[in-house]
Amino acid sequence: MTSLRVFLRGGVTSYRALFGWLNPWIAVPMFVIAPLFQLLFFAYLGRATDVASDTYFVVGNALLAASLPGLVGMGGSISGERAAKTLSMLLSSPANRVALFLGRTLPAITNGFVVSAFCFLTGALVLRVHVAASAIPRVALIIVVCAFSCAALGLCMGAVGLRVRNVISGSWLFVAVLLLVSGANVPLDRLPDWLQTIGAGLPLNHGIAAARDVVEGGTLGRAVLFELVVGIVYTGAGLLLLRAFEFESRRTASLEVM
C-alpha cells in the first residue's frame, strides 16, 4: 500500500519538478501549440505527396505529441531533483524505487495524454478526421502506453544526464529521430532496413501501428503489448543506470553527480 502512495503522491508533487524548470510561457508553445501545427504540417505534406490519408497523419502526430513531455520533461525533472539536492535522498530512501520513479513519470504521461487529445480534436475540427466513439477508450489506452514508453526513454536520458552535460539537447535529438523512424509520418516500409531497425528499438513504433489499427476499426492487437514491453525495458535500463551512477558516486565520492 505504501508503494501505491509513494507512486501517486510522488507523482503529483513532482509535477512541479517537471514544470518547475520549464515555465508555462515555454511549455505551452512547445508542448501544445507546436504539436498542433506539426500535425497540420504533415497532414498537408501527406496530401501533397499522396502518401496516406489524413487519418494516418493525425494518429501518427498525435502520438508523437504524447511523447514530447516524457522525452523532454523527464531529463529536466531529474536534473531538477539533482539541483535541489533531493536526488540522492530519493535514491537512498527505503521507498520502493520502481514505484518512486514510475510515479515521476506520471506528470509526463498525463501531459502527453492531454496534448494528444488536443491533437485529435484539431484533427477532427480542421481535417475532419473522426475517431469512432467505440474506439476512443482503446486509443486512449494506447496513448497512455506510448506516453509511458517515451517517459521511460526520458528517464534513461535523465539518468545519462547526471554524467553528461546538456542532456536536454540529447532528448531533442531523440525527438528528431522519432519524427523520422517512428512511422508517424514516413511509412515504415519506405525506410531502409537500418532505419527500420533503429525505429523498432525505440518507443512509438508499435504504439502507432496499434493505434492506426484501432482507428481503422480493428481490435487491440499485440502491438500495444510490444510497446508496453519497450517501455518496461527502458524503465529498467533507466533505473539500472541511476543505481549504477549512485553506486559510483558513493565509491568515487563524486557528490556532484548526485
Partner 1 sequence: MIRLLLSGLRVHFLQLSRSAVEVVSITVWPIIYATVAYYMFGAESDPDVLLTASLGATVMAIWSSVAFSAGGAIEIQRRLGTLELLVAAPIPFGAVLAPITIATSAIGIYALGATLLWGRLLFGISLHFEHPVLFALSLPVAIVAIGMLGLILASTLIFYRAALFLGASFEYPVWLVTGLLVPLSVLPGWVAPLSWLLAPTWGMRAIRESTVGGSPLSALAMCVGLSACYAVIAAVCLRAFERLARERATLALT
Q: How far is the CB of 34 from partner 1 (least distance, A)?
A: 6
Interaction of residue 201 with partner 1, rule CB under 8 A: no
**Smallest distance, Å, CB 104 to partner 1?**
24
Instruction: Give me the DSSP letters along 70-126.
Output: IIIIHHHHHHHHHHTT-HHHHHHSSS-HHHHHHHHHHHHHHHHHHHHHHHHHHHHHH
Tell me if 47 contacts partner 1 by CB under 8 A.
Answer: yes
- Compose the 204-223 pattern: x for residues touching partner 1 by CB under 8 A, - for all others: --------------------
- If the CB atoms of residues 51 and 117 are measured against partner 1, the closer one turns out to be 51
Residues 6+ apart with CB under 8 A from 50: none
Residue 179 beta carbon to partner 1: minimum distance, rounded to whole angstroms: 6
Q: Please say which residue, 133 or 176, places its beta carbon nearer to partner 1.
A: 176
Minimum CB separation of residue 249 from partner 1 in Å reads 26
Residues 17-46 that bind partner 1 (CB under 8 A): 23, 25-26, 29-30, 33-34, 37-38, 40-41, 44-46
Cβ proximity to partner 1: between 15 and 41 the closer is: 41
Cβ proximity of 210 and 139 under 8 Å: no
CB of 190 to partner 1, least distance (A): 5
DSSP 36-64: HHHHHHHHHHHHHHT-S-HHHHHHHHHHH
Which run of H or E residues covers position 174?
Answer: helix 167-181
Dig out the grid coordinates for 205 from the structure.
Answer: 513504433
Residue 77: all three cell numbers together = 525533472
Cα dihedral value 162, 166, 169, 173, nearest 10: -50
Interface with partner 1 (CB under 8 A): 23, 25-26, 29-30, 33-34, 37-38, 40-41, 44-49, 51, 166, 169, 172-173, 176-177, 179-180, 185-187, 190-191
